[in-house]
Structure 1
Amino acid sequence: MTSPQFGGGRPGGPARKSSALEKAQARDVSLRRIGRLFVPYRPQLAVVTTIIVVAAVLGMASPFLLREVIDVALPHQDVTLLCWLAAGMVAVPAVTAVLGVVQTWISTRVGQQVMHALRTGVFAHLQRQSMAFFTRTRTGEVQSRITNDIGGMQSVVTSTATSVAANLTTVVATAVAMVALSWRLSLITLVVMPPAILLTRRVARMRREVTARRQAELADLNVTIDEGLSISGVQLAKTMGTGPALIERFTASSARLIDLELRSELAGRWRMAVMRVLFAAIPALIYLGAGLPVTAGSMSIGTIIAFTTLQSGLFMPLMGLLDVGVTITSSLALFARIFEYLDLPVDVADPAAPVTVDTAHAPGHVRFESVTFHYPGSDVAAVAGVDLDVPAGSTLALVGETGSGKSTLAGLVARLQDPTGGRVTIDGVDLRVLRLADVAALVGVVSQETYLLHATVRENLRYAKPDATDAEIEAAAGAAQIHELLAGLPDGYDTMVGSRGHRFSGGEKQRLAIARTLLRNPRVLVLDEATSALDNETERAVQQAFDALAEGRTTITIAHRLSTVHDADQIAVVDHGRIVERGTHETLLADAGRYAALAAGAGHSAAR
């Protein structure tokens, strides 16, 4: 029963959501919660709203200026009035254009700050999740939500509020101006509203469903890319001959995306086409109505032209206002996916009132007191009723068969998970009352699976201690028996390690990980057979470095080879999450119990 972070683990099922579930999540998203994203920026939004209102009101002056030109200035050949009206017709769009630039700058900045807050909020919250979350969630799924989902929300976040204000103000101002010109003609324009609202609602519902399915498909695409194009994935595909199957999977997913995008776009295009026809028909009805014998002469030509100008200018803001509804409704699926991550409970969190400890001078006395642990969703305890006392500066070796619970115990010491019963303490302090940063400073971990960043050797080592000097880095590398190798490289410590450290061999990567941990100088060391990938000569050298480091520090080793634990102060044999034997190498051999059987099996295997 080993945890994935120490080389065992439980495979997690895919996190893919069905379309029905996505829609259910979308319905649960509160518009009020979305609105709260903008609360810190109320002053800026107030300025934007003021600019929009002023620009909309100014824009309504143009049709009235046109009417005066046609009905007054031209018939009466009033050159002075004509000049003033012409200047006004130029000044109005110039002023509104300047106001539009200012409004765009402020609103875009606010939108980008909201996007930044969402991205960093999700990333920070996921950093606080326990290892269990990452075990059951596909890496590509997490990346898709942070990039694709938040990226898909950008148009909503950056322009929705201003679009609503601008279009609503323009529609209201235009409607008022149209009524002022002719309330009878204004009634004709109302015929477009029922079909516009009906079509918009249908398109919004369809786009919400399509958006949910599209984001799920994008997540699958990201997973395929992550699994198929990483170095390990490419190597696996080449050795297993699964390249064609991966290409087929990627192609099918991409083809489904084409269909979803077409459905989304065509729905909007059909609505736009219908609305354009309706709006184009209205001026014809207006001219027809104005020319009928019953209404002929009841209004001037300037009024008709000004009215049709206003009516034609109503199309874009009205459609924009309706589009906001479509956009918000379809984006609810995106908000649901993001809020789902933000609402995840934090299993391993900083305490509300943390206890302060001196991490640099803590003795490092580790105790397990009646510790029990269940993995989420499992009824079988991975660890059950474990009591262990590891005095400061001593060494404990955990041995047992694969899946016995050794790595789970080590993970509890590093607080990668919290016990479901009992407690783990360092120097008498429950780990759950310490800050996570303090636990990380107290406990250093070197596991079998070494992860290196795609950066230089120096940057990888400095990751453990950002303020480390070059001398400290080289000293740690020397203790890990890798300094000479690094110094001999053409670029030395500035050598790029490559993706996941594939520039180096397994043993070299493990020594880099050891150097990284040595640089932190923790009081407690957790070693998951950290020398298992080294040849015998290098292993002996690194073991000597560990022996020197262990002076005055507590070391807990997960042993896969019993030959590495002969000198441990105590050895605990783990079986099905329980401690079945404990003692030194000699006493356990003398007891002729489980440890002796494991030692005999190891010796027999080595002999073969």
Structure 2
Amino acid sequence: MPGTDGGAGRRAARAVTAAERDQARHVPLRRIAALFRSHRGALALVTVVIVASSIVSMASPFLLRAVIDDALPDRNLELLVALVAGMLAVAVLTAVLGVVQTWISTRVGQRVMHRLRSEVFTHLQRQSVGFFTRTRSGEIQSRITNDIGGMQQVVTSTATSIAANLTTVVATAAAMTALSWQLSLISLVVMPPAVLLTRKVAQLRLAVTAAKQRELADLNVTVEESLSISGIQLSKTMGTGPALADRFARSSSRLIDLELRSELAGRWRMATMSIIFAAVPAVIYLAAGLPATAGALSIGTVVAFTTLQTGLFRPLMGLLNVGVQVISSLALFARIFEYLDLPVEIADPPSPRTIEPARVRGDVRFEDVSFSYPGSTGKALSGVSLDVPAGSTLALVGATGSGKSTLASLLARLQDPEDGRVTIDGVDIRALRLADLARIVGVVSQDTYLMHATIAENLRYAKPDATDDEIIEAARGARIHELIASLPDGYATMVGSRGHRFSGGEKQRLAIARTLLRNPRILILDEATSALDTRTERAVQEAFEQLSVGRTTITIAHRLSTVRNADQIAVLDGGRVAEAGTHQSLLEYGGRYAALAA
């Protein structure tokens, strides 16, 4: 066993990068302690309960000594009954106090866990789109579920465990000293090696925990990518099912190995401590029987002392194990705090401009806007300036990668420009609250996302307090009401995972209805009709033309037939505005637009 344990620990340590170990070590314990700051009152009450329980439990050895040295030898039945009743009372009282302690400590721990989960989720919600394009979704889920779940025992029981075990150790040591200070010295010689061995075990656990959480994240990614509806369709059409199953099995197998290492890390060292603690009573019996000490200690004192010494093992090892758990959990705290420490790239301004969305006219201006994606050598947009008067229609056309969707994303503030600014009614959108901007600007993209819920719930995602009549009106505007009404369950129909119950065109019309339900003053249509057939596209286009009255609309399209009636058409090329004008003027100009229309 020692050889196996040491090899496992070394292999686990090699599996963790130096940067990860350093990050885990540098998680300040005061930051972990700060999680409990708002629960100081409850923790103080738990501490009082723990101290009371420890003090009460210390009466048992003294009652036992009285039974052996006084009640039994003197055949004093009345004293014996009183002592036994006292021992039962101590057992009942400590049990009740233990239940109260567990209830309070678990309640505090679960509230801390709730706060931590909520803070991580909320903070990630504030991250930019760029963060999610760089990060695997399975990795994010793993940190919220596996990492925080792995911290649960530490968060729930650490503070109370430290208080309970420390109080018990102190009270037991005091009682042992009161019985015999000479025997106490013999019992306490095990402390230095216990602390040293515990520290080494903690370092082994730290390395294994970091590797285990990374493997759990990889497993989550495999499940997320392979068992989604899109992943299943891809694997079936590509015939990669067996390969994916093999990949999952290998990852799961590695996880088994890491779990075994985590359980066995330092186990032989802790077993050594158990042997040492078990040997101490034998040494005490030997010491009590030596000629120098013979007759100095009563049998009751020796029995009571060994009972205390045996009882000391559990809280002492519990105290040392808490240290192991805290140190090994630093890898989990490091991963969670890494997310909490992520800077928010796009946030509400410190002093936002107050704006009433219903009073917004919808004048949009792009003023010398430039933008480049992280890691890209070139600019996605460079010096783009466009003026879109309130209630007018701007169409963005151009080759793939010319910057059309990027420009629209700046208006919705999914990204912020590096240079220049985007304004609505003359106000820089960076001066607005994100919630206000979302009410002003509505987006319908070509990548339609529907949740696994009913049609009505998907539509109400845009406006939770929408009435049934408002939902039906929005669906009619998107030319989807008749289809919904023909379904057996109507608006209560489940759309399925990512809306795969419906065709691409039907999903896009549901997305259009969802956006129209919010009635935004500015509407962005990013290839919103790309998946529609000609007949349906014509119907939806008519609805858009009707709904565009009094609404500023920016349309991105490859089909020039959908934008020929736009008030203004801008042709983007390489992130710049190559030409702009009406459909007719651009055809007469004979430039890039005319070439696209040919």
TM-score, L = length of structure 1? 0.95
TM-fit CA distance, 1:361: 2.5
1:336 aligns with one of 334, 337, 362: 334
Question: Which residue pairs with 1:304 in the alignment?
Answer: 302
TM-fit CA distance, 1:18: 5.4
> Contact (CA 8 Å) 1:19, 1:212: kept in 2 or not?
no
SS of the residue corresponding to residue 360 of structure 1 reads: helix
Question: Which residue pairs with 2:394 in the alignment?
Answer: 396
Aligned-partner Cα distance in 1 for 2:16–2:171: 44
Question: Which residue pairs with 1:324 in the alignment?
Answer: 322
Aligned-partner Cα distance in 1 for 2:210–2:524: 43
TM-fit CA distance, 1:107: 0.7
Question: Which residue pairs with 1:5 in the alignment?
Answer: none
SS of the residue corresponding to residue 455 of structure 1 reads: coil
Question: Which residue pairs with 1:235 in the alignment?
Answer: 233
Question: Which residue pairs with 1:423 in the alignment?
Answer: 421
Q: Any gaps of 5 or more consecutive residues in structure 2?
A: 1-14
TM-fit CA distance, 1:572: 0.7
Question: Which residue pairs with 2:247 in the alignment?
Answer: 249
1:414 aligns with 2:412: yes
1:279 aligns with one of 243, 259, 277: 277
> Contact (CA 8 Å) 2:411, 2:422: kept in 1 or not?
yes
TM-fit CA distance, 1:294: 2.3
Aligned-partner Cα distance in 2 for 1:548–1:199: 77
SS of the residue corresponding to residue 102 of structure 1 reads: helix
Question: Which residue pairs with 1:112 in the alignment?
Answer: 110
> Contact (CA 8 Å) 1:19, 1:209: kept in 2 or not?
no
SS of the residue corresponding to residue 496 of structure 1 reads: coil
TM-fit CA distance, 1:243: 1.2
1:164 aligns with 2:157: no
SS of the residue corresponding to residue 333 of structure 1 reads: helix
Give 2:333's aligned amino acid. F
Alignment of 1:162-311 (within 5 A): 162-311=160-309
Aligned-partner Cα distance in 2 for 1:325–1:375: 45
> Contact (CA 8 Å) 1:455, 1:497: kept in 2 or not?
yes
Give 1:195's aligned amino acid. P
Residues 19, 249 of structure 1: CA spacing in aligned structure 2 closer, same or farther, 3 A cutoff?
farther
2:474 aligns with one of 476, 480, 496: 476
Aligned-partner Cα distance in 2 for 1:467–1:268: 57
Q: After superposition, what is the alpha-carbon deviation per residue over 1:377-396, rounded to whole angstroms, capped at 9, x for unaligned? A: 33422111111100000000
Q: After superposition, what is the alpha-carbon deviation per residue over 1:276-330, rounded to whole angstroms, capped at 9, x for unaligned? A: 2111111111111111222211100000000000000011100100001000000
Question: Which residue pairs with 2:366 in the alignment?
Answer: 368
Identity %: 73
SS of the residue corresponding to residue 286 of structure 1 reads: helix
> Contact (CA 8 Å) 2:16, 2:207: kept in 1 or not?
no
1:136 aligns with one of 134, 137, 141: 134
Aligned-partner Cα distance in 1 for 2:378–2:436: 31
Give 2:597's aligned amino acid. A
Alignment of 1:540-559 (within 5 A): 540-559=538-557
TM-fit CA distance, 1:569: 0.6
Residues 265, 18 of structure 1: CA spacing in aligned structure 2 closer, same or farther, 3 A cutoff?
closer
Residues 537, 18 of structure 1: CA spacing in aligned structure 2 closer, same or farther, 3 A cutoff?
farther
SS of the residue corresponding to residue 221 of structure 1 reads: helix
Aligned-partner Cα distance in 2 for 1:20–1:594: 54
Aligned-partner Cα distance in 2 for 1:18–1:243: 31
TM-fit CA distance, 1:198: 2.0
Give 1:354's aligned amino acid. P
SS of the residue corresponding to residue 329 of structure 2 reads: helix
Question: Which residue pairs with 1:534 in the alignment?
Answer: 532
Question: Which residue pairs with 1:346 in the alignment?
Answer: 344
TM-fit CA distance, 1:475: 0.9
> Contact (CA 8 Å) 2:564, 2:583: kept in 1 or not?
yes
Aligned-partner Cα distance in 1 for 2:82–2:451: 68
Q: After superposition, what is the alpha-carbon deviation per residue over 1:9-29, rounded to whole angstroms, capped at 9, x for unaligned? A: xxxxxxxx9533321220121
SS of the residue corresponding to residue 420 of structure 2 reads: strand
TM-fit CA distance, 1:187: 1.4
Q: Any gaps of 5 or more consecutive residues in structure 1?
A: 1-16, 601-608
Aligned-partner Cα distance in 2 for 1:267–1:308: 30
> Contact (CA 8 Å) 1:19, 1:213: kept in 2 or not?
no
Q: After superposition, what is the alpha-carbon deviation per residue over 1:206-251, rounded to whole angstroms, capped at 9, x for unaligned? A: 1111101100000000000000000100110111111121111111
2:452 aligns with one of 443, 454, 458: 454
> Contact (CA 8 Å) 2:525, 2:555: kept in 1 or not?
yes
Aligned-partner Cα distance in 2 for 1:19–1:57: 46
SS of the residue corresponding to residue 540 of structure 2 reads: helix
Aligned-partner Cα distance in 1 for 2:212–2:393: 53
Question: Which residue pairs with 1:605 in the alignment?
Answer: none
Question: Which residue pairs with 1:92 in the alignment?
Answer: 90
Q: After superposition, what is the alpha-carbon deviation per residue over 1:447-496, rounded to whole angstroms, capped at 9, x for unaligned? A: 00100010000000011111111111011111111111100101110000
> Contact (CA 8 Å) 1:181, 1:303: kept in 2 or not?
yes
Question: Which residue pairs with 1:145 in the alignment?
Answer: 143
Aligned-partner Cα distance in 1 for 2:376–2:557: 26
Could you list the structure 1 runs, at least 4 aligned residues long, displaced by more than 6 angstroms after superposition.
Answer: none
Greater displacement, 241-250 / 187-196? 187-196
Question: Which residue pairs with 1:21 in the alignment?
Answer: 19
Aligned-partner Cα distance in 2 for 1:179–1:202: 30
1:70 aligns with 2:68: yes
> Contact (CA 8 Å) 2:440, 2:522: kept in 1 or not?
yes
